[in-house]
Amino acid sequence: MNILAIDTSSTVASAAILSNKKLLAEYNVCNGKTHSQIIMPMISDVLDKAGLDIADIDVFATALGPGSFTGLRIGVATAKTLAQATGKKVIGISSLHSLSANVLQYDNCIVCPIVDARRGNVFNAIYKNGIREKAERLISVELLLKELNGQKTVFVGDGCAKYSETIKSLMGDNAVFLPEHISLPRAASVAHLAEIRAADNEYDDLYSITPIYVRNSQAERELNGETDEYDTNK
């Protein structure tokens, strides 16, 4: 089974191809260009490097969020368009679940994805041994740290860069931070999780799959007079 996965949930754009549990190609870019400009060229590049054509792809997988609203819309629309054009399957994966999958080697500890949502808030979920214990949510860093209560925790996501010092000051050595290339979104992790679902014949409906926003889009928040929007404009 050939899976083409994309992740446009953050400032990093990522595309990857997984074939029968083997990563054939992956391309990660954070160069200031909008995701709408680069995602299709990236897809063409990973297909070329994998020696495949678009018709060889069996499943199109995409990160659903939470994250950048604009980026999520681009990723979901791209996956849906490709699946519809080729008559293939589509699978959406939580961006937070994907981040947690970057660190599957850490057993018996909490994996805590944190994506900066501004004004002291993060998009977050809690995982332990690959099992989700807290669903996707918007939470303040202060409340999250109270909830973790000093337990050994591996933090991943772009929120680490902003809040690592605050977290370390309260958790000390029980807070584990990983190198950036592991901590940021990777389409390879989206593909890995999609492969697990595909093996169980768990596909998403092409016409009803939507991003996980957690809170209102920028247009809705502006309409309501709210201004603390998280959006990379990607």
What is the total count of domains within the chain? 2
Q: What pLDDT score does 43 carry? A: 98
- Residues constituting the chain: 234
CB-based burial of residue 133 (10 Å sphere; 0-12 exposed, 13-18 middle, 19+ buried)?
A: exposed
Q: Is residue 15 part of a domain?
A: yes
Contact in structure between 118 and 76 (CB atoms under 8 Å): no
Q: What pLDDT score does 231 carry? A: 55
Q: What pLDDT score does 220 carry? A: 46
Domain check: are 171 and 205 in the same one? no
Q: Is residue 102 part of a domain?
A: yes
Give me the residues paired with residue 126 across strands: 134
Domain check: are 47 and 146 in the same one? no
Domain check: are 154 and 101 in the same one? yes
DSSP state of 204: B
Return the CATH number at 208.
Answer: 3.30.420.40
Domain check: are 27 and 108 in the same one? no
Domain check: are 177 and 149 in the same one? yes
**For every one of its 234 residues, what pLDDT tens digit does the chain have, with 9 covering 90 and above?**
999 999 999 999 999 999 999 999 999 998 878 999 999 999 999 999 999 999 999 999 999 999 999 999 999 999 999 999 999 999 999 999 999 998 876 667 899 999 999 999 999 999 998 889 999 999 999 999 999 999 999 999 999 999 999 999 999 999 999 888 888 899 999 999 999 999 999 999 999 999 999 875 455 455 555 554 455 445
DSSP state of 225: T
Q: Record the pTM.
A: 0.90
Contact in structure between 4 and 53 (CB atoms under 8 Å): no
Domain check: are 11 and 124 in the same one? no
Measured in whole angstroms, the distance separating CA 227 from the mean position of its chain's CA atoms is 24
Instruction: For the sheet with 110-118, list strands across it.
Output: 131-140, 121-128, 110-118, 153-156, 175-177
Q: What pLDDT score does 214 carry? A: 87
Q: What pLDDT score does 87 carry? A: 98
Q: Is residue 233 part of a domain?
A: no
Domain check: are 65 and 133 in the same one? no
Name the residue range of residue 67's domain: 2-95+185-223
